[in-house]
Chain A
């Protein structure tokens, strides 16, 4: 039979199903009648003849089942019938169905969302050709501890590696810049990339429109008058106009002044991974006159180097070659040119962990544990339901439904549940991802938004498919194996017959409690850590301070050098004081509460031996800074007009750590290590309170040295702090008005209250804590449901036993206590198993806990009591039911 014939037949069979079914019945009926007639002729009564005919025929329904299975397209039809049938069944058992779908949807949603985050931010391969051989280079100093890395590199290092590191196949350079972009009359301060000519080739990128740089256009000593837009900028700023090629833009840069650039292309979206906010790519330019001079700055600029190793070259081999090149430069060139005091390098590493990596892996582990607990839970519920239905199933089996037919029925049922749960779960995941992206914009502004990637979707579907098969078949196979389904009279099965199913149930309950316990301990420790973090005193009057950052280097060329810049700063200072309600104004060079952490560096105390493990942070601040911030001066004095740039104030933690009992006032130090020869030493004039600008979690972080920086110093970037009791929003508006009056091009960023900024530093921790706590709550709820379901099931099956015991005089409270005890016993075994799991958890939590030991007794005590209470609550109703068994009714069931 040709496939065409077969297909036609299958379709016609489907449509004429009823007729075919009728004909089959009729045919068999007529067979039986003829057979009976024959018997009758032989002399039996009609009734007897009919019976004999049927007996001779065998199982009518079984034959029909066989014939149905033979039909073309029979499987399709049976599935459709099973679907209808199981939908009816699931609807009848609404509480069960709704519960299972909800539980599964929550788990699928949580897992998909967390995995999406992990994949988008960490696991997704770089948008690069041969991503497995591509690494980013990080420099650090061998004098400093290995956690102080610099992604800073330079043209100098790029050129050196390109020429000398023959284990590398390619090297490319990318610099992050913030520049003033003028398009017609519109002026914007935007972030962009400056790249070398080999960048696009290295990344394996193809232009969306136009073309990329030629080597001549990207010559670092050339005019750099071409520009490539990112796809997002092209779409948002130019409405994806294809005629954009050839139009002009002006870039104002501190070093080069105004450059009129021609747009030559649009870069693909995957290159936005490097910085989601950057809008363009321009040629990297090197402004030192002698472009091949090896003694220029090497580890100082905001430059990333990306390397592609040759095929077959190991990372260690490449690292040691680069290390040798760096050491050579550091020891030969840097020493000879006197750069050594400024540069901190010589050691190299590849690919540092993402700041969110630990939290994301913790959440991934948490969501997988939830999935595990959920699977156990659903298995318990499904097993319970199948056991309740064993009567129906065994009747079906007796009527000729083969093992495969029953299997198909089970699978169809679980497919319906899982299908509904997957749809709901994916919808939940989308909502979750959308919410998480709003936080991500605060936590890690340069990251691209998380999206539901097709790889993650595929993984989710594979897992749910697996869960579907396991959920559908395992409980059925278990019951089939124990023989429960073969006997049509098993309605009065005894307790012992279900013992395998029961121990499986008990095992799953215990495992579920163990998983939940690990999660609850993890969440408990994180909650305690969070409480401890927010209890830390920031050390400054966060509520009464409004900050705003100015970085006007892009318009620096308009301000005639140092005197102009100093005058501008003074004008800004005075204008800020004019804002109503502003009590004082302080300046600091660095963005103190920004998202990007600053690195602690070594220093030297005069007359003391060098100790490279001693580190400090440094902030250049104006004299009014301490008063504005509300940071107390504990010893000595604050800055005043008699100070110069060699006056420093150390904070309490510096004094405690490096001076112990000695009086630091008047001591001399060098904020650099080694101390630059011929320069005067800095003098300590005061000791201030500890202020945790790096975040409350940095309470025990590196001590701070404040360096005197007068208002009249010529800077082009600083953070302005205003002390005020007015609401932050209003003050920020006034700040903008005042700045616009001075120069409309002055770009104010990161404006808002310090309270808010402190809060933003906690977003990642809060999010992680809340998510893990919800996972733990869900796991706890699942344990409650699991214990309840298993015990209820047990009580139902053992009703006869309880009836007999009660009839024989067992006191009802004892029966009741027995069930309670079995619930508590499960909890205790689960907790014991879970305790082992918490040891593994401790490793995941290292670095995430704050002022809490991973074996915190309070957390453990609380978690254990919560679980015992949960188990008691879950056992109470089944226990009461067991005790309430009426012996007469229970025994009549026989």
Chain B
């Protein structure tokens, strides 16, 4: 089971989760679906990676969770960003932009 985990995503997964939750609170399945939709199926995060990431972010106080009903009337745990989460997202977005810009330059130059 351990080998199924996508280690490439390990650092970025947190960032992506925060990013997705910026728009609205979502439950685990919703996050997984949204990630898959946005990347058009390129990033299929499995539950074995997603849940630990959610738990970790919640423990760090970046996310908070609340049980709510979904549109279909099912009870689910909805995650949303805390103030600290928003702040972190801002920082990470900046870092990410800077890094991807730098990488893009390198790619263009060589």
B41 at the interface (CB under 8 A from A): no
Q: How far is the CA of A578 from the CA of B36 in the complex (A)?
A: 117
A660 to B46, CA, bound (A): 103
A446 to B76, CA, bound (A): 80
> Contact partner of B59 among A1, A33, A34, CB < 8 A?
A1
User: Which one of A33, A72, A400 contacts B1 once the chains associate, using CB atoms below 8 Å?
Assistant: A400
Chain B residues near A56 (CB-CB < 8 A): 46-47
Q: Which of B1, B47, B59, B72 contacts A70 (CB 8 A)?
A: B59
Which residues of B34-89 are within 8 A (CB) of A?
Answer: 46-48, 51-52, 55-56, 59-61, 67, 70, 72, 74-77
Q: B-facing mask of A624-656, CB < 8 A → 1, else 0?
A: 000000000000000000000000000000000
Query: Which chain A residues lie closer than 8 Å to B27 at the CB level?
Result: 27, 30-31, 34
From residue A27, how far is it (CB to closest CB) to chain B in Å? 5
A-B contact pairs, 24 of them (CB 8 A): A1-B60, A23-B67, A26-B77, A27-B27, A27-B28, A27-B76, A27-B77, A28-B47, A30-B76, A31-B28, A31-B29, A31-B47, A34-B70, A34-B74, A34-B76, A35-B29, A37-B72, A58-B46, A58-B47, A63-B52, A67-B52, A70-B52, A71-B55, A72-B59
Contact across chains for A33 and B74 when beta carbons are under 8 A apart: yes
A59-B1, A70-B56 known; A30-B74 Cβ under 8 A: yes
Those 10 A-B pairs whose CB atoms lie nearest each other, nearest first = A34-B29, A62-B1, A57-B47, A58-B48, A27-B77, A30-B76, A31-B29, A59-B1, A31-B28, A63-B48
- Per the CB 8 Å criterion, the residue count for chain A at the interface is 25
Is A70 in contact with B55, judged by CB distance below 8 angstroms?
Answer: yes
Whether B1 contacts A30 by the Cβ 8 Å rule is no
Query: Taking CB as reference atom, which chain A residue is nearest B70?
Result: A34
- Shortest Cβ distance from A34 into B: residue: B29
Give the residues from 45 to 87 in chain A that come closer than 8 angstroms, CB to CB, to chain B: 56-59, 62-63, 66-67, 70-72
Instruction: Give complex CA distance A66, B1 in Å.
Output: 11
By the criterion CB–CB under 8 Å, are A30 and B75 in contact?
Answer: yes
Beyond A27-B28, A30-B76, is A67–B48 a contact (Cβ under 8 Å)? no
Shortest A545–chain B CB gap in Å is 85
Q: Complex formed: what's the CA distance from A9 to B61 in Å?
A: 12
Q: Does B61 lie within 8 Å of A1, measured CB to CB? A: yes
Nearest CB in chain B to that of A66: its residue: B52
A contact residues around B67 at 8 Å (CB): 23
Residues of B within 8 A of A26 (CB): 75, 77
Inter-chain CA distance A66–B55, complex, in Å, is 10
B9 → chain A closest CB, angstroms: 15
Indicate whether A57 sits within 8 Å of B59 (C-beta atoms), given known contacts A28-B51, A31-B28, A34-B76. Answer: no
Please, what's the 1-or-0 string for A229-252, where 1 marks a CB less than 8 Å from any CB in chain B?
000000000000000000000000
| B52: chain A residues within 8 A (beta carbon) | 63, 66-67, 70
CB neighbours (8 Å) of B74 from chain A are 30, 33-34
The 8 Å CB contact of A58, one of B4, B55, B56, B59, is B4
| C-alpha gap A62/B46 in the complex (Å) | 13
A23 close to B51 (CB less than 8 A): no
Chain B hits for A67, CB < 8 A: 51-52, 55
> Closest residue of chain B to A70, judged by CB?
B55
Bound-complex Cα distance A9 to B46 (A): 28
Residues from 3 to 27 in B contacting A, C-beta threshold 8 Å = 4, 27
Proximity bits, A444-486, B CB within 8 Å = 1, else 0: 0000000000000000000000000000000000000000000
Extra A-B contacts (17), CB below 8 Å, given A27-B77, A56-B47: A1-B59, A1-B61, A9-B59, A27-B27, A27-B51, A27-B76, A28-B47, A30-B27, A30-B77, A31-B28, A34-B70, A38-B33, A58-B1, A59-B1, A63-B48, A66-B51, A70-B59
Could you say which of A33, A34, A58 has the most chain B C-beta atoms within 10 Å of its C-beta?
Answer: A34
Task: Point out which of A31, A66, A67 has the most chain B C-beta atoms below 10 A from its C-beta.
Answer: A31
Q: Are A63 and B59 in contact (CB under 8 A)?
A: no
Interface centre among A30, A57, A62 (most CB of B within 10 A): A30
Smallest CB-CB separation from A33: which chain B residue?
B74
Q: Is the CB of B76 within 8 A of A62?
A: no
Contacting residues, chain B, for A59 (C-beta < 8 A): 1, 48
Residues of B within 8 A of A66 (CB): 48, 51-52
Question: Which residue in chain B gives the minimum CB-CB distance to A9?
Answer: B59
With the chains together, A400 CA to B1 CA distance in Å?
A: 8
Q: Mark A537-569, 1 if CB is under 8 A from B, else 0.
A: 000000000000000000000000000000000
With most chain A CB atoms within 10 A of its CB, the pick from B46, B48, B70 is B48
Most B-side CB within 10 Å, residue of A1, A66, A400: A66
Q: B41 CB to closest chain A CB, in angstroms?
A: 13
**Bound CA span A1–B76, Å:** 26
CA distance in complex: A58, B29 (Å)? 14
Bound form: Cα–Cα A376–B4 in Å: 41
- List, in ascending order, chain B residues with CB within 8 A of A63's CB: 47-48, 51-52
Minimum CB–CB distance for A16 against chain B, Å: 14
Closest to A402 in B: B2
Chain A hits for B55, CB < 8 A: 67, 70-71
Q: How far is A72 from B61 in the complex, measured between Cα atoms in Å?
A: 13
Residues of A within 8 A of B70 (CB): 34
Chain A nearest CB, measured from B94 CB (Å)? 23
Distance (whole angstroms) from the CB of B79 to the closest CB of chain A:
10
Inter-chain contacts of A37 with B (CB < 8 A): 72
In the assembled complex, which residues on chain A have CB atoms less than 8 Å from the CB atom of B76?
27, 30, 34
The smallest C-beta distance from B52 to any residue of chain A, in angstroms, reads: 5
Q: Which residues does chain A contribute within 8 Å of B60, judged by CB atoms?
A: 1
For residue A65, which residue of chain B has the nearest CB?
B1
Provide the bound-state CA to CA distance between A27 and B61, in Å.
19
B4: A residues at CB distance < 8 A = 58
* Mask: chain B, 86-107; 1 = CB below 8 Å from A; 0 = not: 0000000000000000000000
Measured between beta carbons, the chain B residues less than 8 angstroms from A23 are 67, 77
Q: Determine the distance from Cα of A839 to Cα of B106 in the docked complex, in whole angstroms.
A: 77
* List of B residues within 8 angstroms of A28 by Cβ: 47, 51
Contacts of B59 in A (CB 8 A): 1, 9, 70, 72
B57 to chain A, nearest CB (A): 11
CB distance from A105 to the nearest CB of B (A): 41
Q: How far is the CB of B6 from chain A (nearest CB, A)?
A: 12
- Complex CA distance for A34 and B47, rounded to whole angstroms: 13
> A623–B29 Cα gap in the complex (Å)?
113
B contact residues around A38 at 8 Å (CB): 33
Output the nearest chain B residue to A57 by Cβ-Cβ distance: B47
CB contacts (< 8 Å) of A70 on chain B: these are 52, 55-56, 59
**Residues of B contacting A35 in the complex (Cβ-Cβ under 8 angstroms):** 29
Shortest CB-to-CB span from B75 to chain A, Å, is: 6
Distance in angstroms between the alpha carbons of A30 and B70 in the assembled complex: 10
CA of A8 to CA of B44, assembled, Å:
36
CB distance from A518 to the nearest CB of B (A): 48
List the A residue with the shortest CB-CB distance to B29.
Answer: A34
A9 to B60 alpha-carbon distance, docked (Å): 12
Contacts of B61 in A (CB 8 A): 1
CA distance in complex: A59, B1 (Å): 7
Q: Report Cα–Cα, A9/B55, bound state, in Å.
A: 14
Interface centre among B29, B61, B76 (most CB of A within 10 A): B29
Question: What's the nearest-Cβ distance from chain A to residue B63, in Å?
Answer: 13
Contacts of A1 in B (CB 8 A): 59-61
The digit string for A10-52, where 1 denotes a CB below 8 A from any CB of B, is 0000000000000100111011011101100000000000000
- Min CB distance, A569 to chain B, in Å? 94
Q: For residue B48, which residues in chain A have a CB less than 8 angstroms away from its CB?
A: 57-59, 62-63, 66
The interface residues of chain A lying within 8 Å CB-to-CB of B75 are 26, 30
| Residue of B4, B47, B55 with most partner-chain A CB within 10 A | B47
Do A57 and B1 have beta carbons less than 8 Å apart?
no
Tell me the complex Cα distance, A23–B67, Å. Answer: 9
B64 to chain A, nearest CB (A): 13
| Min distance, Cβ B4 to any Cβ of chain A, angstroms | 6
